[in-house]
Structure 1
Amino acid sequence: MKIAFVVPWYGEIPGGAESECKNTAENLSRNGIEVEILTTCVKEFNSDWSSNYYEEGVSQLNNVTIRRFKVRQRNTRLFDRINLKLMRNQKISAKEEQIYIEEMINSDDLYRYLETHGSDYDYFLFIPYMFGTTYYGSQIHPKKSFLIPCLHDESYAYMDIYKNMFQSAAGLIFHAEPEATLANKIFDIEGKQIILGEGIDTNISFEAKRFREKYGIYDDFILYAGRREPGKNTPLLIDFFCKYKQRNRNELKLVLIGSGEVSIPEKFKKDILDLGFVRKQDKYDSFAAASLLCQPSINESFSIVIMESWLCLTPVLVHSECAVTKDHCIKGRSGLYFENVEEFEGCVNFYLKNPQLRRKMAINGKEYVDKNFNWDRIVEKYVRFLEEA
């Protein structure tokens, strides 16, 4: 079996579909599956999509072959104008949809390679759904093309241009039941489907004391781990925490780790601690030291950080409008969810006042991850699904 993952960018990129693709490819490779990466020369999502950061050609990373192709030049201004409408949840025309997909990241050299080397591979796995590499690439050899869409309930998902792509694919690999439900609600899917999840490294070590001593944080704290941006609802978390502190005179802190800019009100700078991007071991230690992890994003198709938090024996608090993270909490009996600031306050205080229940919920979460998302199980499910498709 020979598999090619087709992804807009590839490398040491933390979090998101990029990290999932890399981890999945490497774990399949370790289990004897021949895997290649077909990608562009762009560095990452936040880079200039017209700029070739990497040299084109073939390279190796952790025993996985990477083929990089130069990107097509694009009209960034035109794309940004249409994308702004979508970010504001405004309806766009069919013409604007076509411009959007043509002026995002694309590689004509990549598409030509797919056309001429289709017989070299048994399966193509395209991740995630919205980029040009998936849209154009998956329709070249649809009978051996599988989508890993990473679908959210967002304006992009409702664009008509994606319907044929979802309908023509040989199969779809989903991370969670709510994602599959959403996809089948929007698209008339004909290909085979599986709710597979994501693989997690369950053999991680952590030490709360080590984190507290290194960063000098000894009070109870809520942890946020991930990109700090409006799309992840970080500003909402900061706002709710500030309102919580106005109503609760305790020593609780909010600790932020991850990349991206963040604005902290001057009045609360002693209570909101921004550690920026930290080492992986420090991240695991921070999970263990936290009273709870808060994942406020409503746009998640899986959420690695809540799985890592459970593995480090810390329960989670998620936004009730994110069907996926809420579903994980319910199925794992390992987290709470909030809709407004009052519910946020109630959930936080419940955790602080009930340490034994907090511990029990965290143990439930660890068992949920160990049972469903260890790499041996995920690799087995990938291979079986593709062979039977």
Structure 2
Amino acid sequence: MKKKILFVVQRYGLEINGGAELHCRQLAERLMDDYDVSVLTTCAIDYVTWKNEYREGTEYINGVKVIRKKVDSERNQNKFNKISEKINNDKENKNLGIEWQKAQGPHSSKLIEYLKDYKEDYDIIIFLTYLYYTTYFGLKVAPEKSILIPTAHDEPPIYYSIFNETFNLPSAILYSTTTERDFVNKRFKNNHIQSDIVGLGVDIDKNTPDIDLEKAFGIKDDYIVYVGRIDESKGCKEMFENFLEYKKIYNNNLKLILAGKSAMEIPKNKDIIALGFVSEEEKVNLIRKSKLLVLPSKFESLSLSTLEAMYLEVPVLLNGQCEVLKKHAILSNAGLYFENKYEFIEALNFMINHPEIMKTMSKNGIKYVENNYKWDVVMRKLKKAIEILSFKKEGDSFEKK
């Protein structure tokens, strides 16, 4: 009989094509052949409102059993902002931290009740990501059989004292990068917990059919591309300012193309083109035909879009204030990083005007991904963690060869 694995994640669905949610779906679908896999999640699609949009109950997505529970109430953004302001000035206040966690959501008491009622039915419970209600309260239910995939990075909430427990509770933690593990170990003094660097495989089809971008989107000039949620927390405000400053200095036809759902106001400018949500086929074409992919976020635990661009042989321009992205740039030699507006402007100008160097970067990128982010390695490590925890082999270690 196959072991029963339960993933717990805040959102799950084909419409959710990024972040920890996509990470969860990719892992769940790849474990199906060897395990009985289910996902416990909410009825929410939107991470800002947590509005119940999916139907409560059970459905199957690409063969994976998905159990959905309703969110008790949508996020009250004003209340959440006020609590966030308070806790940023009082990070050690545990009661305030719990209040913040409930306000952040997705607040689903039914999801936690399900875990309590059915925890004995599962051999291993895997939580993604550290930040949300579903992990904070869910991890307390059966820590002895729980694995945390934290997707953690240096951001304000990780310094709240409530997370001291989160990072010292699970039986195992699986990190995306050595940078993430080192940061978490230093922050939470938790290197006694079984852990491994498992990461994520790049899952993008290089043979995706060609699309005429001028016909599809009216794009005819050279462009750089940003793929992902368009949000101030992702560094997009600074990206817009930096790019518009670049355009003032270097008067050319270069455009900034945005592919993703917007959660902020986008400047009205002829050189910034927002396409909204795009299909996988469109995304591949937009990356593949760009001069480079830009990622302005300070807070990343891995960055799948960066690795996808490298795999498609497209150079990258990354925010060096994020240690993970800086390491990607340095270790891969597949792009440049910037730490302020002027470095962004000059790095972009240098890359655009040195096609031979860009060609070398393109070749370096695909080598970096193939050497470090292959699915067979990722899944071997994940299965090893599951087997060690299910059998509770004393003295065995994830990282033993």
Q: Same fold (TM over 0.5)?
A: yes
Equivalence for 1:25: 28
Q: Does 1:230 align with 2:232?
A: yes
Asked if 1 retains the 8 angstrom alpha-carbon contact of 2:48 and 2:75, the reply is no
Provide runs of 4+ in structure 1 moved above 6 Å: none
Q: Distance in 2 between matches of 1:309 and 1:102?
A: 36
Q: Distance in 1 between matches of 2:128 and 2:140?
A: 14
Give the match's secondary structure for 1:198.
coil
In the TM superposition, residue 302 of structure 1 has moved relative to its aligned partner by: 1.0
Number of equivalenced pairs: 382
Q: Distance in 1 between matches of 2:266 and 2:119?
A: 51
Give the match's secondary structure for 2:336.
strand
Equivalence for 1:7: 9
Q: CA 1:289 to 1:149, structure 2 compared with 1: closer, same or farther past 3 Å?
A: same
Asked if 1 retains the 8 angstrom alpha-carbon contact of 2:201 and 2:375, the reply is yes
Higher deviation after alignment, 64-73 or 12-21: 64-73
Tell me the alpha carbon deviations over residues 335-386 of structure 1, each in whole angstroms, 9 at most, x when there is no partner: 2100112211221122122212211211211122223223222211210122
Equivalence for 1:158: 159
Q: Distance in 1 between matches of 2:23 and 2:356?
A: 33
In the TM superposition, residue 243 of structure 1 has moved relative to its aligned partner by: 0.9
Equivalence for 2:256: 254
Q: Distance in 2 between matches of 1:106 and 1:70?
A: 9
> Structure 1 stretches of 5 or more lacking a match?
none
Asked if 2 retains the 8 angstrom alpha-carbon contact of 1:300 and 1:324, the reply is yes
Equivalence for 1:325: 325
Please, which of 195, 219, 238 is the counterpart of residue 197 of structure 2? Answer: 195
In the TM superposition, residue 304 of structure 1 has moved relative to its aligned partner by: 1.1
Equivalence for 1:335: 335
Give the match's secondary structure for 1:382.
helix
Asked if 1 retains the 8 angstrom alpha-carbon contact of 2:9 and 2:134, the reply is yes
Equivalence for 1:44: 46
Asked if 1 retains the 8 angstrom alpha-carbon contact of 2:49 and 2:74, the reply is no
Q: Distance in 1 between matches of 2:127 and 2:362?
A: 34
Which amino acid is 2:184 matched to?
Answer: A
Q: Does 1:82 align with 2:100?
A: no
Asked if 1 retains the 8 angstrom alpha-carbon contact of 2:211 and 2:282, the reply is no
Q: Distance in 2 between matches of 1:211 and 1:52?
A: 35
Equivalence for 2:378: 378
Q: Distance in 1 between matches of 2:75 and 2:342?
A: 45
Q: Does 1:180 align with 2:181?
A: yes
Matches within 5 A, 1:291-310: 291-310=291-310
Q: Distance in 1 between matches of 2:80 and 2:349?
A: 45
Q: Distance in 1 between matches of 2:298 and 2:272?
A: 22
In the TM superposition, residue 26 of structure 1 has moved relative to its aligned partner by: 1.0
Q: Distance in 2 between matches of 1:303 and 1:350?
A: 23
Which amino acid is 1:17 matched to?
Answer: A
> Structure 2 stretches of 5 or more lacking a match?
390-401
Q: Percent identity?
A: 35
Equivalence for 1:146: 147
Asked if 1 retains the 8 angstrom alpha-carbon contact of 2:44 and 2:52, the reply is yes
Q: Distance in 1 between matches of 2:366 and 2:342?
A: 28
In the TM superposition, residue 44 of structure 1 has moved relative to its aligned partner by: 3.4
In the TM superposition, residue 54 of structure 1 has moved relative to its aligned partner by: 3.0
Q: CA 1:113 to 1:222, structure 2 compared with 1: closer, same or farther past 3 Å?
A: same
Q: Distance in 1 between matches of 2:228 and 2:205?
A: 21
Q: Distance in 2 between matches of 1:7 and 1:120?
A: 18
Q: Distance in 2 between matches of 1:74 and 1:274?
A: 27
Q: Distance in 1 between matches of 2:55 and 2:287?
A: 38
Q: CA 1:80 to 1:270, structure 2 compared with 1: closer, same or farther past 3 Å?
A: closer
Asked if 2 retains the 8 angstrom alpha-carbon contact of 1:228 and 1:261, the reply is yes
Higher deviation after alignment, 162-171 or 346-355: 346-355
In the TM superposition, residue 206 of structure 1 has moved relative to its aligned partner by: 4.7
Give the match's secondary structure for 1:55.
coil
Which amino acid is 1:197 matched to?
Answer: G
Higher deviation after alignment, 106-115 or 146-155: 106-115
Equivalence for 1:168: 169
Which amino acid is 1:188 matched to?
Answer: K
Q: Distance in 2 between matches of 1:359 and 1:213?
A: 27
The two structures, once aligned, show a CA RMSD in angstroms of: 2.2
Q: Distance in 2 between matches of 1:310 and 1:159?
A: 34
Q: Distance in 2 between matches of 1:209 and 1:102?
A: 44
Q: Does 1:132 align with 2:155?
A: no
Q: Distance in 2 between matches of 1:152 and 1:384?
A: 25
Which amino acid is 1:248 matched to?
Answer: Y
Tell me the alpha carbon deviations over residues 259-290 of structure 1, each in whole angstroms, 9 at most, x when there is no partner: 10554555xx2322222222221111111111
Q: CA 1:96 to 1:285, structure 2 compared with 1: closer, same or farther past 3 Å?
A: same
Asked if 1 retains the 8 angstrom alpha-carbon contact of 2:9 and 2:41, the reply is yes
Which amino acid is 1:167 matched to?
Answer: N
